[in-house]
Amino acid sequence: MIMKKKPTLRNCEECGKVFVDNTGNLTVCSKCYEKQREDEKIVIEYVREHPHSTIKKICKETGATFKLVSTMVQRGQFFANGGQVLYPCSRCRKPISHGLYCPECAALLNKAIRNSNEIAKSRERMKELSKELGTSKRTKGHRLHWMDVRDKNKDK
């Protein structure tokens, strides 16, 4: 059974006018939508002629908004048209052509994630050891320390 969404009144994110959204995912009115499509065509044409432009330069030369151009970059519209647009890394602001991070920041992020996973695994192992050794979280103020585990394992 196909369920239709009820029409919803929304305010256009661009001009602020009220419009009816029949799909449940529109953010702009029909006039602003058409304006965005026209701006996208202008931006795509500019990027074809100037393939290694930055977002800032594209906005300045075409009059398009930063939001529109960055959305187009995130959607990958310029790769399909032979262009390569540079925009800042989310961490260090170094110019990049794809993704959110430059290779250096991506490597740092991956390292941090691996370290976090190792810490989580270590904590899980400590929980298991504390259960094996009969210690409980109910004991007031006492925590299992790795030296305690090592000493108790020697006794066995």
- Mean pLDDT of the 84-111 span: 84
CA dihedral 26, 85, 63, 36 (to 10 degrees): -20
C-beta separation of 36 from 68 below 8 A: yes
Q: What is the pLDDT of residues 27-54, one digit of tens each?
A: 889 999 999 999 999 998 998 888 778 8
pLDDT at residue 81, rounded to an integer: 52
Given CA atoms 143, 148, 150, 155 in this order, what sign does their dihedral have?
negative
pLDDT at residue 31, rounded to an integer: 94
CA 124/CA 120 separation, integer angstroms:
6
**Better-scored residue on pLDDT, 156 or 31:** 31
What average pLDDT does the structure give for the chain? Answer: 80
pTM above 0.95, yes or no: no
C-beta separation of 63 from 45 below 8 A: no
- 63: confidence class by pLDDT, cuts 50, 70, 90: very high
